[in-house]
Amino acid sequence: MTLAEMQNGQRGRVAKFVAADLESFTQMKLVAMGLAPGCELQLVRRAPFGRSIQIKLAGASVCVNHQLAQQVHIEVTS
């Protein structure tokens, strides 16, 4: 399942970045935000029209656009 497919309130762990060709700059940006393989997160809510997704990880609240969220594979824990 990708981050974009998760439901509000669902928790999970980042497994990997789906696209092998995801630019290294984009990967570094994700990791700098705390969104790295192995980190645990919770989907808080989606913005109207699905343009961005708010997640909570490591005590911080972060917004990720839908297109980028489709590139993050999640192992759902609850």
Position 29 pLDDT exceeds 80 = yes
**Averaged pLDDT score across all residues of the chain:** 90
Position 9 pLDDT exceeds 90 = yes
Position 21 pLDDT exceeds 70 = no
Query: Which pLDDT score, from 0 to 100, does residue 17 have?
Result: 86
Mean pLDDT of 61-70: 91
CATH number at residue 66: 2.30.30.90
Determine the structural domain holding residue 16 and report its residue range: 3-76
Determine the length of the chain: 78
Q: How far apart are CA 38 and CA 75, in angstroms?
A: 10
pTM: 0.87
Tens-digit pLDDT profile for residues 41-60: 999 999 888 789 999 998 89
The string of DSSP letters for 29-59 reads HHHHTT--TT-EEEEEEE-GGGSEEEEEETT
Number of domains in the chain: 1
